[in-house]
A and B are shown apart, each in its own frame.
Chain A
């Protein structure tokens, strides 16, 4: 199969959506002439025109608000919020409006918007431009949250979001934009709420989110040389969350590590750990371990940021201490 980068896969999915569905339009800052802060929408303005590739002022709340309004009128808006750190600026629109409208209207209205954003951890962007805050959305029923880790998943999950009639927060990871992988030409979808076993194994389960999938796989390869077999599971969406797949894996291995880029306290891993304890306590042979970022804002200094970030070594350490214990 042909290979695309993660960024190219997203670009292709967006482009196909614009070609195939006249109700789709893009809205966001610098997505037009500039081509998007990460160049994902490069040349779309020339190809599709300013009606469908809407450059906006810096108005995050209005971007999401306008997308909601257009969606209520039957369009399929795809909004881009440049950095995940700016989501709090439009959190009101996203959480109180987009995610609630269906419910509050007794099912009369629907808000089929996609909000694309990315997190830039690992690029020395400082504490206001690097945050990964997916857990904030675990308490927002009405919203779906997808976190693709591979080019294949990026396209498949995006296509699923296109079909979904709910607001979907689609979180990219900018460190992954250049990662390559196989991507089919056709427009396949990946269902939400269906985890993917990225690698099978027997000894320890590593549930990894977004970028950490790659770190977990790297750790698994290193550990394999020492005779250990690690299973790597990527939930792909955290809302809905495929807890069954995680439980099945835990039943097999008896040991679980949850690896994520967000802060440990109240992170997605905390929720997954709680669910495992609720549903599979008897199968655990060791305490659940979380490999996450510390509860510290992200330091600018590139070396400190590197130390701050969870990585394969920290996963290996966790595996080793789990197996010793």
Chain B
């Protein structure tokens, strides 16, 4: 989680202060526990599908920081050879991070197709697809969840309810108190979990993953969390109320988890320091790597159009 947080801080700095990276970037501040909790509950062979807010998903899936950073710089050494950018950084099938769509909701039917293939091949693999509270209002979501349900497919529908879709509040976009209630309409279980607690996310995911593995079909997992910053890097998020932001700042998953680990004597203050130092130096290396990497020669682009 700390890796994701430091990474995002660095990205913010590189964008806003140094102008070294361009294009949109949707940061993951505050939602780290979801990616980490879900990723740690998956086994080798399982897959995830990410969305436009994918830096955290990529790092949680252990895609090396330097590849993620290089992608943000548009370099040939990035996860997508510089052809994807921020909204597609989490594309690294060899590491279990299959695809990332920047069209909201559109990754969900693709995940259903992956699960269909898993089932067809009688494997016990599962796929987790990440999407936001906004995505549950797309046609793609409804059609996909229905299919996953009728075919009993091993899909974990991970809804990262960070309460906003750009400026649209989830409670204004959906006439239900909990998004997980949507699951009922499709005849599948809906589970609500504290998305700021990595252990809670991990436990819940583990359980529904095991069920999916055994052939019990999809689950809608609503992770209640909060986007501590704006929608994208240039969004000041003035549409939020101060009280709301402050309340969520108190629930910062990283601060709290750190406190808990220290309180339980799992880690000492100096262990934490050491981990932080290690991440920071890795991050500096990643930035240098990204800066010094070449971009793809233009003539090579045509090689990536058709297989």
Contacts and interface: CB of A to CB of B under 8 A. Distances in A.
A59 B135 CA distance: 9
Contacts of A74: none
B82 A128 contact: no
A296 B301 CA distance: 7
A296 B302 CA distance: 6
B23 A299 contact: no
A279 to B, nearest CB: 34
A299 B73 CA distance: 12
Interface in B291-307: 295-296, 298, 301-302, 304-305
A61 interface: yes
B168 interface: yes
Interface centre among A295, A303, A304 (most CB of B within 10 A): A304
A59 B239 contact: no
22 contacts: A32-B167, A55-B167, A55-B168, A57-B137, A57-B168, A57-B174, A58-B105, A58-B135, A58-B165, A61-B139, A123-B23, A124-B24, A125-B85, A126-B85, A296-B301, A299-B74, A299-B83, A299-B301, A300-B84, A301-B74, A301-B82, A302-B22
B138 A301 contact: no
Interface string B142-173: 00000000000000000000000111100011
The 10 closest A-B pairs by CB, nearest first: A301-B74, A300-B85, A34-B167, A124-B23, A57-B137, A301-B82, A57-B173, A126-B85, A307-B298, A128-B102
A285 B70 CA distance: 49
Contact of A300 (B23, B106, B139, B298): B23
Given A57-B137, A300-B84, 6 more contacts: A30-B167, A86-B103, A125-B23, A126-B86, A297-B83, A299-B82
B74 A129 contact: no
A322 interface: no
Contacts of A127: 83-84
Contacts of A55: 167-168, 172
A30 B166 contact: yes
Interface string A254-275: 0000000000000000000000
The prevalent SS among residues of B at the interface is loop
Nearest to B140: A89
A304 B23 contact: no
Interface string B264-307: 00000000000000000000000000000001101001101100
Interface in B80-125: 80, 82-88, 101-106
A25 to B, nearest CB: 17
Contacts of A302: 22-23, 74
Interface in B156-206: 165-168, 172-174
A303 B295 contact: yes
A37 interface: yes
Contact of B305 (A34, A62, A125, A296): A296
A85 B52 CA distance: 14
A287 interface: no
Contacts of B213: none
A192 interface: no
B74 A124 contact: yes
Contact of B102 (A29, A33, A57, A126): A126
B253 interface: no
Contacts of B302: 294, 296
Interface string B15-48: 0000000111000000000000000000000000
A124 B165 CA distance: 22
A308 interface: yes
Nearest to B102: A128
Interface in A45-73: 55-62
B84 A126 contact: yes
B75 interface: yes
Given A124-B23, A299-B301, A37 B166 contact: yes
A7 to B, nearest CB: 16
B56 interface: no
B160 to A, nearest CB: 14
A4 to B, nearest CB: 23
Contacts of A59: 137-139
B74 A33 contact: no
B134 interface: yes
A37 to B, nearest CB: 7
A127 B84 CA distance: 7
A89 B139 contact: yes
A132 to B, nearest CB: 16
Contacts of B305: 295-297
B141 to A, nearest CB: 9
B293 to A, nearest CB: 11
Interface string A5-20: 0000000000000000
Interface centre among A62, A123, A124, A299 (most CB of B within 10 A): A299
Contact of A128 (B23, B74, B101): B101
Interface in B53-92: 71, 74-75, 80, 82-88
A304 B174 contact: no
Contacts of A29: 165-166, 168
A34 B167 CA distance: 6
A58 B104 contact: yes
A318 B165 CA distance: 45
